[in-house]
Amino acid sequence: MSSRWNPCPRIRRYGRCRVASSAHTTAPTRKTPCDGRAKRRWTSCSASWIADVGCVVVTGAAGGIGQALVRGFVQAGSDVIAVDRVERPADLATDQYISCDLARTVRDPAHAGEIFAKVRAALGARPLDALINNAAIQILGSIESLDRDAWRDSLEVNLLAPFIWTQALLPELEASRGSVLNISSIHARLTKPGFVAYATSKAALSGMTRAMAVELGSRVRVNAIEPAAIDTPMLRAGFSGNAEGFSALESHHPVGQVGSAEGLASLAVAIVREGSGFLSGSLVGLDGAIAARLHDPV
């Protein structure tokens, strides 16, 4: 991948409420139709192949990170099919929008079949080059307070939905030699009290990413991003009236700031566009070095 990649050093985090969430500098600015398998071209600024991305499905597309992912892939020349459970945001960068509850696609196979039929109808004859499993919920609570519903909801949206959607769209992804990108979390590796349901679901998602990459091999690449705090409206809302607390959060990251949804989207595009076929099974940290920092009382 090119050394000219713009890191855009800003990251993501969900708030307490149950909300469906959350480059390459040579990415094309002109949108092109996806009329075949992912095309590969040689770029002078890189020592590897960079694939031109065609059609991409993004779940959780209405949230701050989701909208940034849609913009990022559209700017990279992709046709994007956006999926979320709420009404389409007026400023979403794509008109191709499917409203659905991902948890219901896990619980109700008949409903899932209807939704996947809509996805295939939106694709038409075009290939599906990437599935971005971005939708997530973050349910916080102590070990004593978490109930069965909290666990079921966390696992259905954060773990089972990415599996069901990957499984359902695998024929299309394999036909295009495409890729799956799961948006996991730093909580898959490092967490704190109150996050047991969320952290467990994300650790399982990262584990599933590796297992799928091993099983699918060269058929479909599977990777994940594990971001730390991302500057989204939801994160800002959590610090409403607490500017000092937000500054403290930024200072805890060695780079001195939290991440941006745009930076995450740029990384997502770069991972999907890596065309050598060798980047698979990777859990890419996007955390401002906070995962490398040792906190102790001295």
List pLDDT tens digits, range 217-261.
999 999 999 999 999 988 998 899 999 999 999 999 999 999 999
Contacts of residue 110, Cβ cutoff 8 Å, sequence gap at least 6? none
Residue 51 has pLDDT above 90, yes or no: no
pLDDT tens for 116-153 read: 999 999 999 999 999 999 999 999 999 999 999 999 99
Q: Sign of the C-alpha dihedral, residues 144, 146, 147, 148? A: negative
Class of 39-289 in CATH: alpha beta
Q: Is 198 a catalytic residue?
A: yes
pTM: 0.83
Q: Are 224 and 285 in contact (CB under 8 A)?
A: no
Short-list 264, 257, 84, CA closest to 182 = 264
Q: Are 7 and 287 in contact (CB under 8 A)?
A: no
Question: What are the structure tokens assigned to 271, written together?
Answer: 């991972």
Q: How confident is the model at residue 283 (pLDDT cuts 50, 70, 90)?
A: very high
pLDDT tens for 85-124 read: 999 999 999 999 999 999 999 999 999 999 999 999 999 9
Angle at 21 between CA 17 and CA 24, to 5 degrees: 150
User: What per-residue confidence (pLDDT) applies to 49?
Assistant: 52
Short-list 133, 259, 145, CA closest to 195 = 145
Active-site residue (options: 14, 97, 165, 198): 198
